[in-house]
């Protein structure tokens, strides 16, 4: 994947690094480091891109003065006003499930013009959730359907996508041919791909050409590559579950996860600590 670059060809500075440079000091113990634009998006005041514009236009005050720097550090107890109104930066953790349809991409823009999952999600979210900056927890290919999780907290993204978490993800694939028990055994024991050996997977036959796979890692096109490696290319792919959170809404619909689904189903604890992310 190509490095992101600015208009003159230099590598862009990651957002978290830019914010850390401007912070000019250590983070107070027990306090979460944040910058103004991201804090507004996390709290649901407005999505981060809108927040950056509002800040540069002089519509945001921080600590009693106009702040025009989106990366300005925010500390607990500082008063923030947007368009003259005091806005809380309290950020309740939110995680929602969305039933991804085929055709749309998990990206900020779609060069093919079909649309993105972020656009589809915002079409169905209620007004009180429109202001959040939503982050996808992992990815699904354009033609893959099923469970996709979104959150307003990057720590959940890191938890859900980290190779160290081993959060199980369950897929159902329609494949070419009827997989043999030998092929299923190879999937269960792990097999060699071009980027190294896979972890053992759960694998069972659901029908003549339908296979259920449960993975505890998430490499690029992994399900498709594993099934192709045992001689059964994927025709359709659907994700049914992440952790013990099972998809239970229609295509294009959403619902918010309960606290217990986040803590027990996904294994995420709100007191977990992770590195800053952009």
How far apart CA 215 and CA 188 sit, in angstroms, is 10
- For 242, phi then psi, to 5°, come to -130, 125
- For 216, phi then psi, to 5°, come to -115, 25
Q: So which residues are the catalytic ones?
A: 141
- For 48, phi then psi, to 5°, come to -60, -40
Residue 185: CB partners within 8 Å, gap ≥ 6?
Answer: none
How large is the C-alpha radius of gyration of the chain? 21
CB atoms within 10 A of CB 243: 19
Q: Per-residue b/e over 112-129, b at no fewer than 16 CB within 10 Å?
A: eeeebbbebbeeebeeeb
How far apart CA 220 and CA 149 sit, in angstroms, is 18
Angle subtended by helix axes 181-189 and 222-229, to nearest 10: 130
How far apart CA 86 and CA 77 sit, in angstroms, is 12
């Amino acid at each position: 994947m190509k490095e992101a670059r600015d208009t003159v060809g230099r590598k862009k500075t990651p957002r978290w690094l830019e914010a850390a440079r401007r912070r000019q000091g250590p983070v107070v113990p027990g306090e979460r480091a944040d910058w103004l634009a991201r804090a507004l998006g996390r709290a649901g005041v407005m999505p981060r891109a809108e927040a950056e514009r509002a800040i540069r236009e002089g519509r945001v005050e921080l600590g009693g003065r106009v702040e025009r720097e989106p990366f300005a550090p925010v500390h607990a107890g500082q008063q923030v006003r947007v368009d003259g109104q005091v806005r809380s930066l309290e950020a309740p953790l939110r995680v929602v499930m969305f039933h991804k349809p085929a055709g749309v991409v998990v990206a900020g823009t779609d060069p093919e013009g079909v649309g993105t999952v972020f656009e589809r999600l915002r079409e169905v979210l209620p007004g009180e959730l429109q202001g959040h900056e939503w982050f996808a927890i992992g990815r699904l290919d354009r033609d893959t359907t099923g469970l996709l999780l979104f959150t307003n907290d990057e720590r959940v993204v890191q938890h859900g996508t980290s190779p160290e978490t081993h959060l199980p993800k369950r897929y159902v694939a329609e494949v070419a041919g009827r997989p043999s028990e030998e092929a299923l055994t190879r999937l269960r024991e792990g097999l060699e791909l071009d980027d190294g050996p896979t972890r053992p997977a759960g694998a069972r036959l659901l029908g003549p050409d339908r296979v259920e796979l449960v993975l505890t890692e998430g490499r690029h096109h992994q399900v498709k590559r594993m099934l192709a490696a045992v001689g059964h290319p994927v025709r359709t792919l659907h994700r049914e579950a992440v952790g013990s959170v099972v998809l239970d809404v229609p295509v294009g619909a959403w619902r918010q996860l309960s606290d217990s689904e986040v803590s027990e189903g996904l294994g995420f604890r709100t007191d977990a600590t992770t590195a800053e992310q952009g």
